[in-house]
Amino acid sequence: MKDFINNTIWADELKLAITVTDIDYVILYMNEKSKRSYPNSHVGDNLADCHRQSSMDKIDRMIQNDISNTYTVTKKGLKKLIHHTSWYKDGKTAGIVEFAIEIPEDILRYHHNLFKTINFNINHHV
């Protein structure tokens, strides 16, 4: 189990993009989907070299305040859910992980509160 947790091989072929950076904005890891999604970015690159200053300010606030950021974006006809969150080493923020998940047009939408309206009465006889 320890080898599974310490090795990123499990993430390499996931059908979502995963990019991991350190607190200095250096890319530490990109899975295969991330590499295809961001062909001009590579492990060892700094995010400041490929992001606008306004984006870097948001990333800096996420790291400094230990907050996550989630949004949707449509690029080249693909809608994606983007989620940024901190990762930790020895209890301290060590960087940011980005998960980019393609959202299909025909995605199912569940309304969780509908389940709360169902009232089963086991004592009721028909």
57-111 pLDDT tens trace: 999 999 899 999 999 999 888 899 999 999 999 999 999 999 999 998 887 777 6
Interatomic CA distance for residues 22 and 113, integer angstroms:
39
Q: 2-116 has which CATH code?
A: 3.30.450.20
The sign of the dihedral angle between the CA atoms of 12, 106, 37, 54 is negative
Instruction: Assess contact for 102 and 78: CB atoms under 8 A.
Output: yes
Query: SS3 of 1, please?
Result: coil
pLDDT band at 112 (very low <50, low <70, confident <90, very high): low
b/e burial code for range 12-35 (CB count within 10 A of at least 16 → b):
eeeebbbbbbbbebebeebbebbe
pLDDT of residue 2: 46
Residues 19-24: what's their mean pLDDT?
Answer: 94
